[in-house]
């Protein structure tokens, strides 16, 4: 098959679409012909050599895809060759084929394109596990979602809004802020133009949960904003990974700080996350209340341009690579 291979030895680590061996698949796995894959910020870090795949995972980039099943492992039941599916991957998405544990598959709704399917798994499952399982976000609570226009942000805003929460968000341009409002954010703040702490404290007495991908730069502000028993979930460190904390402030307000990754979790945990996500939200995807947000679609041969678009923070929602029709 063909796949995108990072040319590690060449300056700039260019992405080349070239021949690689086909993936093998185990008895509890299916083999999939990939039609579309989606970019994630982690792909940029992996390409740069800063985010190696977990042990046993493919070293090909790509944490999610949509396609059709072409072969079933001996122990797989409930799926047929030809079924249209999408799934989370620990790697291997920028390719023509991939193997996936059958229990991790999500069925593509009939009227969905493969591009829509590819845009769903990583960001919706990340938003779901961190808001509802790690932070135990409840209806009626207020949540602050940083990076509101990111892939994860666009998923998190929609899920929290549908769950009956008051949603505050930050983003870096007026267009992004306007889009976050359309997705259901009650308050969206352009953090380049306004102090988000002051703005939030003018609207509310703080927030119950924060989904944070900025890290050190926002730590002081985030802690200031959390109400009694507030929860802060770190999912990335785009603004630095080291900071000082005044532990007394955590104690006094009984705050909880939570760190979380999805990719390195065991398959059984990912299956549980997928099942709980589907039980709570799948109907809303089928009736169109929730949907993945697609920023742009690139032919896979233009993966380089797709990466540049993400690197420049230009996307609202997901950037897709089209692998085949
Ligand atoms: N822990 C996990 O399991 C997990 C899983 C998935 C993703 N993530 C993380 O979640 C984040 C979002 O992922 P994604 O793929 O959805 O990203 P994305 O679509 O590339 O969006 C990231 C956005 O973050 C904003 N940003 C960049 N640097 C920033 C900084 N220093 N301070 C504030 N905002 C900044 C930019 O938007 P603005 O114009 O608004 O600044 C950028 O467009 C990434 O950091 C990713 O690594 C973590």
Q: Whose CA is closest to atom 22 on ligand 1?
A: 150
**Cβ(291)–Cβ(278) under 8 Å?**
no
Q: Across residues 112-125, what is the average pLDDT?
A: 98
| pLDDT-based confidence at residue 230 (cuts at 50, 70, 90) | very high
| Residue ranges, CATH 3.90.180.10, the chain | 2-120+293-322
Would you tell me how many other CB atoms lie within 10 Å of the CB of residue 16?
A: 14
- What is the CA(280)–ligand 1 centre distance, in A? 25
Residue nearest atom 16 in ligand 1 by C-alpha distance: 151
pLDDT digits (tens, 9 = 90+) for 58-109: 999 999 999 999 999 999 999 999 999 999 999 999 999 999 999 999 999 9
C-alpha torsion sign, points 187, 142, 164, 288:
positive
Using the structure block, give the residue that is written with the tokens 């046993």.
Answer: 56
Percent of the chain with pLDDT over 90: 100
Give 294's contacts (C-beta < 8 A, 6+ positions apart): 115, 116, 119, 317, 318, 320
First to last CA, the chain: 16
Distance CA 306, CA 246 (A): 41
Sequence-ordered list of residues with C-beta below 8 angstroms from that of 282, at least 6 positions apart, any chain: none
> Average pLDDT, whole number, for the chain?
98
Determine the atom of ligand 1 nearest the C-alpha atom of 123: 6
CA of 24 to the centre of ligand 1 (A): 32
260 CB burial (10 A radius; 0-12, 13-18, 19+):
middle
User: Which residues are bridge partners to 233 per DSSP?
Assistant: 211, 258
Residues of the chain with CATH 3.40.50.720: 123-259
- CATH topology for 123-259 is Rossmann fold (3.40.50)
Q: Are strands 226-234 and 2-6 parallel, antiparallel or unpaired?
A: unpaired
Condensed to tens digits (0 to 9), the pLDDT of residues 161-208 reads 999 999 999 999 999 999 999 999 999 999 999 999 999 999 999 999
Q: What is the CATH code of the structural domain delimited by 2-120+293-322?
A: 3.90.180.10
Calpha distance 60→205 (Å, rounded)? 46
Q: How far is the CA of 293 from the centre of ligand 1 (A)?
A: 15
State pTM to two decimals.
0.98
Q: Give pLDDT tens digits for 8-42.
A: 999 999 999 999 999 999 999 999 999 999 999 99
At 220, is the secondary structure helix, strand, or coil? helix
Q: What is the mean pLDDT of residues 226-234?
A: 98
Find how far residue 12's CA is from the centre of its chain: 25
Residue among 100, 23, 104 nearest 69 (CA): 100
Is residue 320 within 6 Å of ligand 1 at its C-beta? no
**What are residue 88's DSSP bridge partners?**
64
In this prediction, residue 138 carries a pLDDT of: 98
Q: How far is the CA of 160 from the centre of ligand 1 (A)?
A: 18
**CA angle, 272 then 56 then 87, to 5°:** 40
- Which protein residue has the closest C-alpha to ligand 1 atom 45? 236
Q: Rounded to the nearest 5°, which phi and psi values hold at 267?
A: -55, -40
The answer to whether the CB of 221 is under 6 A from ligand 1 is no
Let me know if 116 is exposed, middle or buried by CB neighbors in 10 A (0-12, 13-18, 19+).
Answer: buried
Does ligand 1 come within 6 angstroms of the Cβ of 213?
A: yes
Q: How far is the CA of 238 from the centre of ligand 1 (A)?
A: 7
The string of DSSP letters for 224-282 reads HHEEEEEEEEE---TT-S-----HHHHHHTT-EEEE--STTS-HHHHHHHHHHHHHHHH
236 Cβ contact list (under 8 Å, min separation 6): 41, 212, 213, 214, 215
Q: Which tokens in the block code for residue 257?
A: 């700080």
Question: In whole angstroms, how large is the CA radius of gyration of the chain?
Answer: 20
Residue from 121, 148, 180, 313 to probe ligand 1 pocket by mutation (most atoms less than 8 Å from CB)? 313
Q: How far is the CA of 209 from the centre of ligand 1 (A)?
A: 18
Report residue 227's pLDDT band, with 50, 70 and 90 as the boundaries.
very high
Q: Distance from the CA of 95 to the center of ligand 1, in angstroms?
A: 24
Q: Record the tokens describing residue 232, joined without a space.
A: 């802060």
């Amino acid at each position: 098959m063909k796949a995108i291979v990072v040319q590690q030895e060449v300056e700039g680590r260019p992405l080349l679409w070239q021949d690689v061996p086909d993936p093998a698949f185990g008895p509890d796995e299916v083999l999939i012909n990939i039609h579309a894959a989606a970019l994630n910020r982690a792909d940029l870090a992996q390409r740069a050599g800063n985010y190696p795949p977990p042990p046993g995972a493919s070293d090909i980039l790509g944490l999610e895809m949509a396609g059709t099943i072409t072969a079933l492992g001996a122990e797989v039941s409930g799926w047929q060759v030809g079924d249209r599916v999408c799934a989370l991957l620990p790697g291997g998405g920028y390719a023509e084929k991939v193997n996936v544990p059958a229990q991790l598959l999500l069925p593509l709704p009939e009227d969905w394109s493969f591009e829509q399917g590819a845009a769903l798994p990583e960001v919706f499952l990340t938003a779901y596990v961190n808001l509802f399982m790690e932070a135990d976000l409840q209806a009626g609570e207020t949540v602050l979602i940083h990076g509101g226009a990111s892939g994860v942000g666009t998923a998190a805003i929609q899920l929290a809004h549908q769950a009956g929460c008051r949603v505050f968000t930050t983003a870096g341009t007026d267009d992004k802020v306007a889009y976050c409002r359309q997705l259901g954010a009650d308050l969206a703040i352009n953090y380049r133009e306004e102090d988000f702490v002051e703005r939030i404290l003018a609207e509310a007495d703080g927030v119950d949960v924060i989904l944070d991908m900025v890290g050190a730069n926002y730590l002081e502000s985030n802690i200031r904003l959390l109400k009694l028993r507030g929860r802060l979930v770190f999912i990335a460190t785009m603004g630095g990974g080291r900071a000082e904390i005044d532990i007394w402030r955590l104690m006094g307000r009984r705050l909880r700080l939570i760190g979380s990754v999805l990719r390195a979790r065991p398959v059984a945990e990912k299956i549980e996350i997928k099942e709980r996500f589907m039980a709570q939200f799948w109907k809303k995807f089928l009736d169109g209340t929730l949907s993945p947000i697609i920023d742009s679609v690139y032919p896979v041969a233009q993966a380089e341009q797709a990466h540049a678009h993400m690197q420049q923070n230009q996307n609202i929602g997901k950037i897709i690579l089209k692998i085949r029709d």
